[in-house]
Copies of this chain bind each other. A is one copy, B any other.
Amino acid sequence: MLRIVILGAGNVATHLFQAFFKAENVVVAQVYNRSETALKPFSEKTKTVVSLDELEEADVYLVCAKDDAVKSLAEKIPFKNKLIAHTSGSVPLLDVSKKNGVFYPLQTFSKEVPVDFSKIPICLEASDENSFKILQNLAGSISERNYRISTEQRKSLHLAAVFVCNFTNYLYRVGEEICEENKVPFEILYALMEETARKATEKSPKETQTGPAARGDQKTIDQHLEQLKNPVFKEIYTLLSQKIATT
């Protein structure tokens, strides 16, 4: 049985807590957060604390803080012999304890949307083999997928995620706006969006590139540019079509 303490009460902390709470071989002994209000949702299910002095002994301290707060919070944990791991994609492996680790679930979390952790890849890194095994155990308790990922690799994953998640979401927004302007229900595109994502997991997206730019259909490209009223959308259409055409 692994005893863990979660530090933080944001999206990642919330979803991880829910997953660990259901896991068989894990006990979340405490959840820490500076603000008592944010701890409310946890307080029915485990002990909550607002002071780091009240932290109990545990096998893993999981720091689920914002990127720029991870280090300073981890440093304040008063157990320097215990495994301290953070959940951030862009923060390197820290050196705040004798045993340090990273436990980075690669997914986009919204507070209200429930998450099935079983398919979420968890990227692991640790200062020593024993700590790595503990993190692997912890990951295995909630997900089928874990990977040994170095700090450098994690940085590149984080960067790639900006393209496939944040930028992709922005393109969905453009699609939604085009639909709204033309009084077409955006939902007509849902199946296409989901299939495009699914397909990219079955075949390399290099092989499945379609559309006017990929087939060199300048007539359609010109027609689309004429249809686009928003200069921002025109700019994006032009740049991405160019890049697709020349790859």
Residues of A within 8 A of B (CB): 67-68, 90, 106-108, 110, 113, 119-121, 123, 145, 147, 149, 152-153, 155-157, 159-176, 178-179, 181-206, 208-214, 217, 219-220, 223-224, 227-228, 232-233, 235-237, 239-240, 243-244, 247
Contacts and interface: CB of A to CB of B under 8 A. Distances in A.
Contacts of A162: 211-212, 224, 237
Contact of A147 (B167, B185, B200, B217): B185
B220 A196 contact: no
B155 A205 contact: no
Contact of A220 (B90, B120, B182, B235): B90
A197 B194 contact: yes
Contacts of A219: 68
A167 B110 contact: no
B159 A224 contact: yes
- Chief secondary structure at chain A's binding surface: helix
Which of A123, A147, A189, A212 has the most chain B CB atoms inside 10 A of its CB?
A189
A236 B228 contact: no
A196 B156 contact: no
A186 B121 CA distance: 11
A203 B110 CA distance: 11
Contacts of A175: 160-161, 163-164
A193 B179 contact: no
A228 B168 CA distance: 18
B155 A227 contact: yes
Contact of A243 (B187, B223, B228, B232): B232
Contacts of A192: 106-108, 161, 164-165
Contacts of A145: 188, 191
B90 A211 contact: no
9 contacts: A107-B192, A110-B208, A153-B183, A159-B227, A160-B175, A160-B186, A163-B233, A165-B193, A171-B171
A1 B197 CA distance: 36
A163 to B, nearest CB: 5
A121, A182, A213, A237: most-surrounded residue (chain B CB, <10 A): A182
B164 A171 contact: yes
A212 to B, nearest CB: 7
A196 B173 CA distance: 12
